[in-house]
């Protein structure tokens, strides 16, 4: 099972130090794959603190070029050279607030893989889309660009936009339906089984049920990942069968 912490625009050097001090000993010898995605400036510290531990480090975005005149952007090659091994691409906040499109998301994901990073690629419908009965067609469109990616370095995160940061997680039935659809799509597009994470208000109280839902290979956790204790409670709720993948 893969559990990824998306810190979004939260955290500080002192918080990161305290977090790792609490979490790393608990993860030792654990059965799951765990990834921490803090803001860019904390990545070097995270890589240093997590060296030799069970916690891998990921970024929350990256650019599609190796280098260039792209003020404010970060190259996936820089991330890889620094010891970062994962990157989140196309998070719904990037799509909604920062103009991410299916095409720019694909370009970033491709470059990230070429740089050696593994990609957590986010998809998911808005509330209006779900209520309009468009969930599966949105997922169809968002996954359509993924055919050219390396399935070995790819994980999909199904994150219904209406469940992110709202406290209202999708129901296991909704999750199972979306995950089955995404699985089938990725199998079709890449010829391989690609793990699908669930994201959207995952917390210690609902993690057991969500992670036990058919087709769920792990979770992408926002708010509840900021506290080491609550993130670890979510990790502990993950089923051990099928671990490390
Ligand atoms: P949340 O965020 O857990 O705070 O709902 C999830 C995400 O945005 O990845």
Q: Does the pLDDT at position 185 exceed 70?
A: yes
Q: What pLDDT does 13 receive? A: 98
| pTM of this structure | 0.96
Question: How is residue 87 written in tokens?
Answer: 């990157």
Q: Is the backbone of residue 114 left (phi > 0), alpha (psi -120 to 50) or beta?
A: alpha
Q: Which atom of ligand 1 is nearest to the CA of 199?
A: 6
Q: Does the pLDDT at position 245 exceed 80?
A: no
- Average pLDDT on 47-71 reads 98
Identify the residue whose C-alpha is closest to ligand 1 atom 2.
222
pLDDT > 70: percent of the chain: 98
Query: Are 2 and 210 spatial neighbours (Cβ–Cβ below 8 Å)?
Result: no
Q: What is the mean pLDDT of the chain?
A: 96
Using the mean position of ligand 1's atoms as its centre, give its distance from the Cα of residue 69 in Å.
32
Question: How is residue 205 written in tokens?
Answer: 């109280």
DSSP for residue 201 = S
Q: Does the pLDDT at position 242 exceed 90?
A: no
Question: Among all chains, which residue has been given the structure tokens 């820089």?
Answer: 78
Query: Are 197 and 216 spatial neighbours (Cβ–Cβ below 8 Å)?
Result: yes
DSSP for residue 70 = -
Using the mean position of ligand 1's atoms as its centre, give its distance from the Cα of residue 117 in Å.
22
Phi first, then psi, for residue 174 (nearest 5°) are -65, -40
C-alpha closest to that of 198 among 106, 124, 116: 124
Cβ neighbors of 240 (< 8 A, separation 6 or more) are 1, 31, 32
Q: Does the pLDDT at position 143 exceed 70?
A: yes
- Average pLDDT on 126-146 reads 97
Q: Does the pLDDT at position 228 exceed 50?
A: yes
Indicate the burial class of 152 (C-beta count within 10 angstroms; 0-12, 13-18, 19 or more).
exposed
- Rounded Cα distance between 31 and 52, Å, is 16
Q: Which atom of ligand 1 is nearest to the CA of 221?
A: 3
Using the mean position of ligand 1's atoms as its centre, give its distance from the Cα of residue 67 in Å.
30
Q: Which atom of ligand 1 is nearest to the CA of 223?
A: 4
- Average pLDDT on 96-121 reads 98
- Rounded Cα distance between 64 and 176, Å, is 32
Q: Does the pLDDT at position 192 exceed 70?
A: yes
Catalytic site residues?
91, 159
Which residues have C-beta atoms less than 6 Å from ligand 1? Answer: 6, 159, 164-165, 199-202, 220-224
Q: Which of 196, 223, 224, 230 to mutate for ligand 1's pocket (most ligand atoms within 8 Å of CB)? A: 223
Query: Are 80 and 29 spatial neighbours (Cβ–Cβ below 8 Å)?
Result: no
For 105-132, the DSSP string reads HHHHHHHHHHTT-EEEEEE---HHHHHT
Using the mean position of ligand 1's atoms as its centre, give its distance from the Cα of residue 33 in Å.
18
Q: What pLDDT does 243 receive? A: 45
Q: What pLDDT does 52 receive? A: 95
- Average pLDDT on 19-40 reads 97
Identify the residue whose C-alpha is closest to ligand 1 atom 1.
222
Query: Are 210 and 219 spatial neighbours (Cβ–Cβ below 8 Å)?
Result: yes
Q: Which atom of ligand 1 is nearest to the CA of 201?
A: 5
Q: Does the pLDDT at position 244 exceed 70?
A: no
pLDDT, tens digit, for every residue of 76-103?
999 999 999 999 999 999 999 999 999 9
Using the mean position of ligand 1's atoms as its centre, give its distance from the Cα of residue 3 in Å.
12
Q: Does the pLDDT at position 233 exceed 70?
A: yes
- Average pLDDT on 161-182 reads 96
pLDDT > 90: percent of the chain: 98
Sign for the pseudo-dihedral over CA of 230, 231, 236, 238: positive
Q: What pLDDT does 67 receive? A: 98
């Amino acid at each position: 099972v893969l559990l990824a912490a998306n810190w979004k625009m939260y955290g500080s050097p002192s918080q990161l130090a305290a977090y790792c001090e609490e979490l790393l000993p608990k993860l030792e010898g654990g059965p799951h794959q765990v990834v921490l995605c803090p803001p860019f400036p904390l990545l070097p510290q995270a890589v240093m603190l997590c060296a030799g531990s069970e916690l891998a480090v990921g970024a929350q975005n990256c650019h599609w070029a190796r280098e260039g005149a792209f003020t404010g952007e970060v190259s996936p090659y820089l991330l890889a050279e620094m010891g970062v091994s994962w990157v989140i691409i196309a998070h719904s906040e990037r799509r909604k607030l920062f103009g991410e499109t299916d095409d720019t998301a694909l370009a970033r994901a491709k470059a990230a893989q070429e740089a050696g990073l593994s990609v957590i690629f986010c998809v998911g419908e808005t509330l209006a889309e779900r209520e309009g009965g468009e969930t599966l067609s949105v997922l169809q469109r968002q996954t359509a660009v993924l055919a050219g990616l390396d399935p070995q370095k790819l994980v999909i995160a199904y994150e219904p936009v209406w469940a992110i940061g709202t406290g209202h997680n999708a129901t296991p039935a909704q999750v199972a339906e979306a995950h089955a659809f995404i699985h089938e799509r990725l199998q079709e597009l890449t010829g391989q089984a690609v793990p699908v994470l669930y994201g959207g208000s995952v917390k210690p109280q609902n993690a057991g049920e969500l992670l036990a839902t058919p087709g769920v290979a792990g979770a992408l956790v926002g708010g509840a990942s900021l506290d080491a204790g609550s993130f670890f409670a979510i990790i502990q709720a993950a089923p051990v069968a099928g671990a490390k993948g």
